[in-house]
Chains A and B, each alone.
Chain A
Amino acid sequence: MDDGRGGKSAKIIMADKLVVKNLNAYFSQIHAVRDVSLEFEENRIAAIIGPSGCGKSTLVRCLNRMHEVVPGARATGEVLLDGNNIYDDDVDPVQVRRRIGMVFQKPTPFPTMSIEDNVAAGLTLNGVQISRAERDSVVERSLRQAALWDEVKDRLRRPGASLSGGQQQRLCVARALAVQPEVILMDEPCSALDPISTARIEELLLELKSAYTIVIVTHNMQQAARTSDKTAFMYTGNLVEYGATKQIFTNPTRRETEDYITGRFG
């Protein structure tokens, strides 16, 4: 496949962090993702777009084995993280999820925990033994990375649910970052947010890209165009087209992609 990034960046050889090979995902009888193969490069943002029900959320949930959490759901095929298949029999899904974090559509701070406890939840719930000082520094680093530190540093003991929706979502980003994953999956992270909060999350994505590999599912085509390096278009469970974002949005090779992007359906 043409790497399509063009210009200066084409000279840098990027490593493929995550490689998906012939992935199929099912919900009981429903075949939600059909034989999808694609790769996500390190320190890049990839966007997955497509109409509702096209399988884009299911695809990202397969990338950290969250798909199988739903009763009756299963997946076949391979997902290689640094060359190792996360679907091998001897791989513990819990370990996979520590390396591949996820942020969901709805902000989900744990209601019984304070802001700082929410950020540290991935560590404390996993029984990681750390000193108070280490914990504080993890909380501060994660909140700074999530661009939330300045807004909450004076009320870290307040409940996580006391924040606004946009702040809660950044809190969830901080919580995902605290366990130091290598890949961050985002499943429509802005669909419940107002435009200002959305802009903040998008800025955040661009800052995080230097340290993480990011895959974002979005309904918002402008968001994909603004933030991502590569874009995948999915339709009825199939990967229709995957390429450099610029090319997908200006010169798609497939008719379905063009129709969707120009708003003729979806």
Chain B
Amino acid sequence: MAAAASFLRGETSYRIRKFKSDGMMAITVGATILTLIPLFLVLGYLLFKGFSSLNWAFFTHMPAPVGEKGGGMANAIVGTLEVVGIAALIGVPIGVGAGLYLAANRASQFTNWIRFSADVLMGVPSIVIGIFAYAIVVRPFGGFSALSGSVALAAMMVPLVTRTTEEMVLLVPPELREASLALGVPNWRTTLSVVARTALAGITTGVILAIARVAGETAPLLFTAFGNRFWSTSLFHPINTLTVQVYTYAISPFPDWQRQAWAGAVVLTGIILALELGVRWMTGGAAKAPR
């Protein structure tokens, strides 16, 4: 009994271990708090500055000329939705297709290069992507356009979507694939109707996160979609977007415009937050699927 008790009370080594453990725990908790402080400061300040400038006219009116009160960013809100929407139409099919291919051909030298390129492309500064779109769309078409902005954003989405699609497909147990093949289902049909279908919730999550990521980009749009003070939804003319409008207004010397910039930032953050919440909601309902 006495021996057991002294054993349970522990040696000094146990106390040292406990002390170290507590110390490490304190460090990680501290790091977490330090990470969260700027996040809440940014969000709080954004809401504090932006909310007061936000009103119904902001969503329905065009930008007002300097010196005039009021006005809104109706054209920029529609422009952002259009540019990002077209970017998704271009980028998602390419990314999902490439991701399916990478997952189906894991080991070849060719796919290793594609995978490596996708990883590099993810790290390329977004301004460089903008220059790329300028070179392949703006120059040949002879002017800034909504389409060139979409191409720039699509180029940013492709590697993101490719890699998440691949990861999600790899989570599908290989047994399911074999079970389908053993039923005499052709390979292409197995990949689409069984493997991709099972990974669908995960792939959709990746797609929405990629959309949210590019929706907040400014640099690739500066010399592609360019910006437009007027109403335009044409693919082949310059178009206004929230990010570029916020950028233009924020660096302007006029207090009215600066207030508008804050409001635009709040709306943009709201759009991205809505997309992320959409992901949460979707995966909450369907996260059990790939297993």
A71 to B106, CA, bound (A): 9
Indicate whether A170 reaches chain B with its CB closer than 8 angstroms. no
Asked if A69 and B178 sit within 8 Å, CB to CB, the answer is yes
Indicate whether B270 reaches chain A with its CB closer than 8 angstroms. no
From 116 to 143 in chain B, residues with beta carbon under 8 angstroms from any chain A beta carbon are: none
Asked if A110 and B179 sit within 8 Å, CB to CB, the answer is yes
A interface footprint on B61-78 (CB within 8 Å = 1, 0 otherwise): 000000000000000000
A230 to B290, CA, bound (A): 40
Nearest residue (CB) in A for B193 is: A125
Contact of B184 among A69, A71, A112, A126 (CB under 8 A): A126
CB contact under 8 A between A101 and B173, given known A71-B106, A111-B198, A112-B289: no
The size of the chain A interface, using a CB distance under 8 A, is: 28
A71 to B200, CA, bound (A): 25
- The distance from the CB of B130 to the nearest CB of chain A, in whole angstroms, is 40
Interface segment among A16-24, A79-87, A90-98, A196-204: the answer is A90-98
Contact of A122 among B178, B185, B197, B200 (CB under 8 A): B185
Indicate whether A46 reaches chain B with its CB closer than 8 angstroms. no
CB contact under 8 A between A176 and B178, given known A125-B189, A125-B193: no
**12 examples of A-B residue contacts, CB within 8 angstroms:** A71-B106, A96-B184, A102-B182, A104-B182, A111-B198, A111-B290, A112-B198, A121-B180, A125-B193, A126-B183, A126-B184, A175-B179
Beyond A71-B106, A112-B200, A126-B185: 17 further Cβ-contacts under 8 Å?
Answer: A69-B178, A69-B181, A71-B107, A97-B181, A99-B184, A108-B175, A110-B179, A111-B176, A111-B290, A111-B291, A122-B183, A125-B183, A125-B190, A125-B193, A125-B194, A127-B189, A176-B182
Interface residues of A (CB under 8 A from B): 64, 66, 69, 71, 94-99, 101-102, 104, 106, 108, 110-112, 121-122, 125-127, 161, 172, 175-176, 179
